Amino acid sequence: MPTVAQYSTTNGESLSLELLAEGIVAPLTSLKWGQNGNSGIFDGGAYYADGSVCARSLHRKAGFINEPRPLDSTAEMPRIPGSHFYAGMLKNEHFGHFLVESLSRLWAVKHATEDLQSIVFYARMHRQPVPAWVSAFIKILVPDIPLRIVSAPTVFEKLVIPDQVAHPYNGYIYGHPAIRDFFSSLRQIRGKPSKKLYISRSKLMDSGGFLGERRIEEILAREGYSVVHPQEHSLRKQISFYNGAQTLIFAEGAAIHLFALTCRPDQKVFIIQRRKNASIFEWQLRTFGLTPVVGPEAPSSYFIPEHHGRNTLLARARINYEKLRDQMITEGLAVGVDWDLPDEHLIREEIDRIEKHMGQRLLEYPSCSL
């Protein structure tokens, strides 16, 4: 019989860790998107020694249901001795989704009584390699426990399976007391402080952003902000930047998810939204105790690569620069003097530059049509 241990959080809530003898972890081999309002389905998960599914291992993910497939009882499975920690699905294709979808079981590492030999994941994209930023971040969090990715059903002598502390519908990690406690160690990562930071996306030519960002960078630099391009720095360095800043302005994106894990309630944060769903960032930061300002408003239109339909993931948003300036002045984030805002000529030059880089046209869609 599996053993279940209870852990009481500071808010009185009880979380559980389940210890399986001869527990089995199977990889994700199939993910089918939902249609006509129905949820999608993906497999992968953990099983008891008799082949029945461990319900605690099921992974919550927005728009999907985790349904592990029956195991082949005749198949030979490798067996790994020792005690191992089940971490669930690894989002190995997108940094931001890795941060919000793959870390919500790690709270229990410090509560496991076993001497753990590995952190076990199954990969969302099982044919893609694990990016370096996955192992780098796991090493920051649990430096003495190696990472293990299962590629076939594998038996573990002892398998610790904790509750997934994530939002019940979107599956995202949030500021639950157990999560805050575990990630509090990140605040000890320090570097040279810079009181005012602008976290930019302007150099991410193959990703989404907002038009005119390079000009906004120049303006904010004159306002005393240090401009940071996160992808140019190690994860440890990025965290040190966030820890050393009192005022931060983010171009909305994955960097906010990393910042959320280390944020302090006394920090002042402004998010320049480039998509309609910027509220997810606001929600996450609030759960960690910080209330950001989001602005200036939903973009008026999006320029989307012609081969990507109406998906705004790679879109360049047209935002209201006048309202951005006025809101930053009102919030005390900027003086607002000599703001040479992006004009239509600059915007057209930027669109031409992106089209040339991507090798395809950007088609404009009104925000209301998406």
Dmax (CA) for the chain in angstroms is 74
Q: Which long-range contacts (CB under 8 A, 24 or more apart) does 66-71 make?
A: 66/41, 66/42, 67/41, 67/42, 67/43, 68/26, 68/43, 68/44, 69/26, 69/29, 69/30, 69/43, 71/24, 71/26, 71/47, 71/153
Predicted TM-score (pTM) of the model is: 0.94
What's the pLDDT score for residue 347?
96
Instruction: Walk me through the domains of the chain, giving residue ranges and CATH numbers.
Output: 3-186 (no CATH), 189-369 (3.40.50)
| Helix (H) or strand (E) run with residue 180 in it | helix 177-183
Residue 1 banded pLDDT, cuts 50, 70, 90: low
What's the pLDDT score for residue 37?
87
Cβ atoms of 260 and 278 closer than 8 Å: no
Q: What are 55-94's pLDDT values in tens digits?
A: 999 999 999 999 999 999 889 999 999 999 999 999 999 9
Q: What are 302-322's pLDDT values in tens digits?
A: 999 999 888 888 999 999 999
DSSP reduced 3-state for 109: helix
Q: What is the CA radius of gyration of the chain?
A: 22
Average pLDDT, the chain: 94
Q: What are 195-210's pLDDT values in tens digits?
A: 999 999 999 988 999 9
**DSSP 8-state symbol, 58:** P
